[in-house]
Structure 1
């Protein structure tokens, strides 16, 4: 392999395949491409799902996961790694061991439950997430239900989200984005951010015109954050980029399926990483 670094940034996603195309590996690769990043993928599980429900989950053998990661690491200069649904403790331990191959930022989306409410993590894997996967992360991006599980308490206000983000950052020694999208009574979509000893609020307007909660927003945010980091953006710029991409994706969410099925967070047309950011997206220190 040549010793020269890629002129084109590379990001790797390690996650599950979504047959409906709205989340998982498929959403990650769309987000990478929109950011101008070459996307590599390692499939941890194959899911039979669509935006409305998950029918089946088939995890791949750890040996397959290990071989896929080795294949990528041996020839690509990976600028960021994002992990999504890993499903079992065995797969989590395989990923954590293989992450030592990389020296780039690692973004962990601790995927535990699907948009439709189906568990995406075996019960015995929760301990592996807390004890092994999250300590290996540079950034974690839990939503409110995931953060409540990690913290073992309810989060009933945005002040409690901020405290929760700070606690998770201290526990796992990483940056935290505690996504507030599930707080539907909040007039803005506010995320609690903590990194580098600082608390911040990441804000965008809340889009209320969708008939159902959109499918794939969590995957899209974490992979967009990883893409920004792979491009060499500062953490602040990568955060606002990811938030803006999700906002624009929701604004253009596609009703690609039958009536009554949740929309998919679609790629905005002509979206460019690094374009002038809308003043609707703000990262505010507290």
Structure 2
């Protein structure tokens, strides 16, 4: 019987990020993926044009129905959109003893803030304390740790600060590091563990104007491997290998004088 995992995230019409990417990653690992939609996003790798939220009551009902109907072995949250969504999800997951991976989805690769200030405060005050793993990018890590995160040393310090602040494991993603042959993410295990573990893959330089969904896909792949009952380090290692292959074998198109790229969800 295939294990079951749940993603609570936004819907991406280009199917390269959000819950569409999550479900593809989960399927790759033989995990049956369920989804609860928080918002509908009109986007491509090149632009985000419109975000329409799903009502909080509808989000709650989706999650409760799925958790009551399926033996969910792991949960992932992606774009939660609003303070109301975050508080509603927090009330549900705090009562369930299910591994929870939180991809904060606070700050985009472009630097744009994706959550309102009150939503960020709610995430920091409530939801992150119930996570098994938090997977921020470097700008998100800076916001969560209240410090500058531009170097490897700062990544490691921030991972420790976030882990201790929220009493959970933290994996900081190195996608924003420049001029490096290896992309090394850093995992700080949950207290009382003090070890920081590196996870490295060769850097892939894509000559294109747009790709997205790498963070969504990585956290979904980790969630799938936790549903398979792997240890957290083993789940991250498997997920890193998968995302590396998805990038290295990416699909490319040229349309109306624009290059666009999508991960290859094998």
Normalized against structure 1, the TM-score is what? 0.88
Q: Which residue of 1 aligns with 2:139?
A: 145
Structure 2 matches for 1:51-62, cutoff 5 A? 51-62=45-56
Aligned positions of 1:1-286 closer than 5 A: 7-195=1-189, 196-212=193-209, 214-256=211-253, 258=255, 259-268=257-266
In structure 2, the CA distance between the partners of 1:191 and 1:213, relative to structure 1 (3 Å rule), is farther
Give 3-state SS (helix, strand or coil) of 1:263's partner: strand
Q: Evaluate the alpha carbon distance shift between residue 262 and residue 151 of structure 1 in structure 2; reply closer, same or farther with a 3 A threshold.
A: farther
Q: Shift in Å at residue 118 of structure 1? A: 4.2
**Structure 1 gaps, min length 5:** 1-6, 269-286
Q: Distance in 2 between matches of 1:175 and 1:244?
A: 20
* Structure ranking higher in strand proportion: 2
Q: State the Cα deviation string for residues 45-97 of structure 1 (Å, max 9, x = none).
A: 11111111111111111110111011101111101000000011110000001
Inter-CA distance 48–213: structure 2 relative to 1 (3 Å threshold): closer
- Tell me: CA distance 1:149–1:59, structure 2 relative to 1, closer, same or farther (3 Å): same
RMSD, aligned CA: 1.5
CA distance in 2, matches of 1:130, 1:67: 24
SS in 1 for 2:35: strand
Unmatched 5+ stretches in structure 2: none
What is the distance in 1 between the residues matched to 2:110 and 2:137? 14
How far apart, in 2, do the equivalents of 1:115 and 1:95 lie? Answer: 25
Shifted more, 117-126 versus 244-253: the winner is: 117-126
CA displacement, residues 259-282 of structure 1 (integer Å, 9 cap, x when unaligned):
5344122213xxxxxxxxxxxxxx
Alignment size in residue pairs: 262
Question: What secondary structure sits across from 1:204 in the alignment?
Answer: strand
Task: State the Cα distance separating 1:116 from its structure 2 match.
Answer: 4.8
Hey, what's the Cα distance between the residues in 2 that align with 1:101 and 1:169?
A: 21
Q: Is the 8 A contact 2:26 2:33 kept in 1?
A: yes
Q: Go from structure 1 to structure 2 and tell me whether the alpha carbon gap of 1:106 and 1:256 turns closer, same or farther (over 3 Å shift).
A: farther
The 1-side partners of 2:209 and 2:195 are apart by 34
CA-to-aligned-CA distance 1:164-217 (integer Å, 9 cap, x gap): 101110111111100011102222011111003211111010011432452100
Q: Secondary structure at the match of 1:193?
A: strand
Runs of 4+ with deviation above 6 angstroms: none
Conserved 8 A contact 1:53-1:116:
no
Structure 2 length-normalised TM = 0.94
The 3-state SS of whatever aligns with 2:201 is: strand
How far apart, in 1, do the equivalents of 2:254 and 2:38 lie?
26
Question: Does structure 2 conserve the Cα–Cα contact (< 8 Å) formed by 1:190 and 1:204?
Answer: yes
Provide the rounded CA distance (Å) in 2 between the counterparts of 1:157 and 1:109. Answer: 21
